[in-house]
Structure 1
Amino acid sequence: MFAKRLVLLFVVLSSVAVISSLRLSSSAKVSPSAFDSQTDPNTALSRGRSLLKQGHADQALGYLEAALNQFTQTNNARGIAAAQDALGDLYMIQGQDKVALDHYRKAYDSFVVARGKDQTDQAAASNVASRAGAAANAATQTAGSLADNGFNANLMLAKIGEANYRLGHLSEAGSAYLLMNVKKPESAAAKTTRRFGGLGGIAGIMSTGRVSVEAPTSAAVGLLEAKKELDEYRVAIVYMTYELGLGRLAF
């Protein structure tokens, strides 16, 4: 049973980390200075991640460092966090857990900064949206960014816990897991209730004997349902990581 838990924890973490067995070759390393200062940091980050997935850690390093440098110059907290996260994955793959831990901590700090900024933006956007309906979409996008940063911050805490565990720092690992914002996934019964329109929908079914097709198939409800499913997926990932991480420390 414990072995299955370890395997499941590995699968969960690898959903956001890159798996490779290649060692870093300094001779093939791409220097950040080799990149033009006008290179889009998002492009460099994406390229670095792709190379890492393909097992080319030596080439990925240069792209990731270049992306980090440019995000830092523009004070892009979310970009800094993403680059630090990817660098943490790279060094974790290399077995350099201490270096990886440092990158994960910096990534977490940056995601927290980004989340704080999004909270401020969300409050401002909501205030504007209350006076102008056209701004509602901006408020929705800000709320989505806030959720993304919250999810990523949780994942960084899980990675910090994993790195500390591998280093033998069990107390620090436990502290990282306990900092995670965790809630239990929605039950199957609750999902069924929601998909049929909640209590009101169920009452309608009971009174008429028919399931209303119009409401569940509307575009608005469809989008809301898709977002809800994504949120529930994230809740499940965070919950599993938290439970398995703490469960492993208990043995």
Structure 2
Amino acid sequence: MQKRENMLAAERRQYILNRLHRDGKVVAVELSADLELSEDTIRRDLRELAAAGLLQRVHGGALPASPATVPFSARQQQSTAAKLAIARAAAGLVRDGQVIILDGGTTTLLVAQNLPPDLHATIVTNSPPVASALAAYGAIEVIVVGGRLFKSSQVAIGAAAIETIKQIRADLCMLGVCSLHPEVGLSVPDSEEAYVKRAMIESSAEVAALVSAEKLGTAAPFVVAPISALTHLVTETGLPEPVLDDYRRLGLTIVQG
């Protein structure tokens, strides 16, 4: 790898992305030393790559960006087999008589479509698509949280949604997850959605994050909660054990579908 001040910007940025893919993170001071360039130059490259949606800047460097930045309808076409397996595994956590908060998202919608047909439970959701799917279950009481519709994610957000959720004491919360990282925690692209998810976590005895492989080890701009706020990580099979060990060490129960 050439190391000179007049190195083309495109070459530098591709090198940064390659390092990010290989290591799962990049540190500005290390890149500066490796490329024999100023930290100002590296930070400028990181800003440009972040603006293009190719990474998420964090203090001192960058992490992989969340892949969940496309609209709900497009996300329904992504990782469909993995999401279905995760949803079925998550549905296995549900017990009769529970009060459950079911967040919005394409994977949580699949959970709603794959619950036991005779389940007796109360399910609270801020997602119109999830509420519609739950209407098919005769023994599930459905509580729909109102608020302003965040169209990209098909969920209700805002003060009204948060106030309603704060009055709930749930046994289990299942969260649709944009990004999960051992150091950053759970993060999302929208600040108001972050507030709603935080309220869901605080209102629940157990919290399961439903995460497909491409979202693990990534970060988004708005942090919802640290890993310690979660109790379960529900993900797909076949992931490298070292990846899962990072979350086990932080106290999460791993459930694979």
Q: Do both proteins adopt the same fold according to a TM-score greater than 0.5, normalized to the shorter chain?
A: no
TM-score (norm 1): 0.25
Higher strand share: 2
Structure with bigger gyration radius? 1
Higher helix share: 1
TM-score (norm 2): 0.25
